[in-house]
Amino acid sequence: MTTSILDLADLINAEVLGDTDLEITGPETLENAKSGQITFLANSKYLEFLASTQASAIIIQTDHLDQLKLHQLGRTLLVVPDAMSSMLQILEHFHSPPDAPEIGISARAEIGRCVQIGNATNVHAGAYIADGVVIGSGCNILPGAYIGPRCVLGNQVTIHPNVVIYGLALIGDCVTIHANSVIGADGFGYRQRNGRHEKMPHFGQVEIQDNVEIGACTTVDRAMIGKTVIGLGTKIDNLVMVAHNCNLGEHNLLAGQCGLAGSVTTGDHVVCAGQVGIADHVHLGSGAVCGGMSGVHQDLKAGQTYLGLPAASELQTIKIWSAQKKLPQMRMQLKQLQQEVERLSQQQNQESPSETERAA
């Protein structure tokens, strides 16, 4: 598939500087692009790569133009206000997924009793739909998916292969759940009686609101009582653990290997980077950002960035880290000071008159 540079310029509403007769075969990164391909520059720290890229065309932001020597670059430029957004449009143009085939309900799918399935929904071979499930229109239930009793799925929901959704789950519209994720398993709740761990039963539900995307191999546990809630527009990466009775606000971002213990709550637009761990019953205020590998043991205020273990404000943590780098030097200085104090103390003892001399 090739597209003329002028057609791409029209697609992203760009100004063309250079050869307008180019034919572009596809998009690629700055480092890996070859002749005939298009790439982009959204961050000025990568300006140095422009001289070595083999791309025939580069999408570049208006505010980077004054940093270029255009006569030396020898590339066609598409000038736009936002290079990243424009590149995403180009990617969609060249890699738009094929329309899903309308297979309806496969004869090799297992469908329980009293199941309701909307128009234009595909249920692929090997999927299992339990009794009393309600599925909206335009959904795709892919091979090997299990949807438990009395679950309710909205419209335009995609359930990828081998996803397991336990009974009573509520899934909103335009939700995507990727392969091998588990929704609605029992929470990790036990109490000790007579020296043994006794399981606490979980009778609650999981509610996943509209426009949520959940990555592969992620687990969202059902509530013990009530609901575990994933708020509107929240995006969850692969290998994330959301424990029972958590209640996440709208448009949260949870990166890979995050772990949320039971009854964690968040406001809106909260961000947790990779491997963040959050203790039970902690609340993260709206707009809070937790840096990678942070350990959160107490409530975090809204609109602030936190780092470290235990998590503290970004400025405070950076000061601590800076001080830690100096610890070897400080340790040597402390030893030197101790030695000097001992030397001065011995010197003072030698110079001071003894009790016998003072009596004489």
CA-to-CA distance for 88 and 70, rounded, in angstroms? Answer: 24
Q: What is the pTM for the complete model shown?
A: 0.86
198 is written with which tokens? 């006794």
CA-to-CA distance for 41 and 80, rounded, in angstroms? Answer: 11
- The H or E element that residue 284 is part of is strand 283-284
215: left (phi over 0), alpha (psi -120 to 50) or beta: beta
Chain-wide mean pLDDT for the chain? 93
pLDDT single digits (tens) 181-228:
999 999 999 999 999 999 999 999 999 999 999 999 999 999 999 999
pLDDT at 101 over 80: no
Q: Could you give the 3-state DSSP secondary structure of residue 255?
A: coil
CA-to-CA distance for 88 and 314, rounded, in angstroms? Answer: 31
pLDDT at 175 over 80: yes
Residue that has been written with the tokens 């580069």 in this structure? 58
Mean pLDDT on 270-299: 97
pLDDT at 287: 98
Active site residues: 244
- The H or E element that residue 221 is part of is strand 219-221
| β-bridge mates for residue 267, sequence order | none
15 is written with which tokens? 């100004």
pLDDT at 71: 43
pLDDT at 357: 59
CA angle 267, 269, 273 (to 5 degrees): 105
CA-to-CA distance for 300 and 260, rounded, in angstroms? Answer: 14
pLDDT at 69: 59
- Looking at per-residue pLDDT, the higher value among 153 and 342 belongs to 153
CATH code, residues 163-310:
2.160.10.10
pLDDT at 46: 85
CA-to-CA distance for 302 and 306, rounded, in angstroms? Answer: 11
pLDDT single digits (tens) 30-77:
999 999 999 999 888 888 888 888 999 999 998 888 777 554 567 899
pLDDT at 67: 73
Instruction: Return the CATH architecture of domain 3-95.
Output: 3-Layer(aba) Sandwich (3.40)
